[in-house]
Structure 1
Amino acid sequence: MSNVATIFARKGGFNHLTIEPEQTVLEALQMMADKNVGSIVVQDSTGYLGIFTERNYSRNVILKNRHSHDTKVKDVMTTDLPQLKMLDSLEFCMKTMADCNVQYLPVSDEGKMLGVISIKDLIREQVHQQKDLVKYLQNYIQG
């Protein structure tokens, strides 16, 4: 059964973008565009503070008629997300995302930020599991 650790292993590690809370939304968006991702971890010298996502931008900047170049990430980021653990199952991750109505969740271990899991990561892992199951069944039937 797959878990968060399996997803990170397939992704090739714990890579995640970070930005400081005092930086602007425009800086965050540029970093996200450069790496083609939909979220960025907000942290300072003390550690993880929250996540800034494209949804934060659309709902807390655009719809509120703010400007990206003078709005700070700390003013529009999401801070109250539950944090996943490495041994959490895919099912738990999906339920947590659905319950919180989010597409990204932070992953931590003993208070240390390890990365972010996205709904896209979960879907990819489910597809991978289905392919493995089909291959197993084909081998079983063929004998």
Structure 2
Amino acid sequence: MLIGTILRAKGSQVTTVRPDATVKELLAKLAEHNIGAVVVSADGASIDGIVSERDVVRRLHDRGAEVLDGPVSEIMTSQVRTCGPNVNVDELRRTMTEHRIRHVPVVDNGRMVGIVSIGDVVKSAIEELETEKASLVDYLHR
């Protein structure tokens, strides 16, 4: 299965936050959308970074509550791994596992077209296994 197939099913909406937004504003977006990470983008289309709940928790531990009033740019990951819609889900799963990342923006022709989480990848694997199982059961009952 290709990443583009996942995006067609889940949609292409990507929640973003500006680099100068406060960490408090970031937390409000995470809560509002019930998500674990957002893409940091000055214009809503380019990728300046990515920031997750884990980033916030780690910085809170390191620096204390004053991090909440600071800009997202101070806690974001600026080296963002991306993939294209034609990447195979198995390949992305290996990349996510190898690099311990849970969210990967999808980029096509230099434009952000979606985001895939580890949950999306696992869900697609389960769906593939269920389809394969149904085919095997059908074959055995012929």
TM-score with structure 1 setting the length: 0.91
Deviation of the 1:126 alpha carbon: 0.5
The answer for unaligned runs of 5 or more in structure 1 is none
Deviation of the 1:107 alpha carbon: 0.9
Question: What residue in structure 1 maps to residue 99 of structure 2?
Answer: 100
Question: What residue in structure 1 maps to residue 14 of structure 2?
Answer: 16
Identical-pair percentage: 26
Question: What residue in structure 2 maps to residue 25 of structure 1?
Answer: 23
* 2:89 partner letter: L
State how 1:30-109 maps to structure 2 within 5 Å.
Answer: 30-45=28-43, 47-109=46-108
The answer for unaligned runs of 5 or more in structure 2 is none
Q: 1 or 2 for the larger relative contact order (CA 8 Å, sep ≥6)?
A: 2
- Runs of 4+ residues over 6 Å off in structure 1: none
Asked if 2 retains the 8 angstrom alpha-carbon contact of 1:61 and 1:76, the reply is no
The farther-off stretch of 119-128 and 98-107 is 98-107
Distance 1:40 1:4 in 2: 19
More helix by share: 2
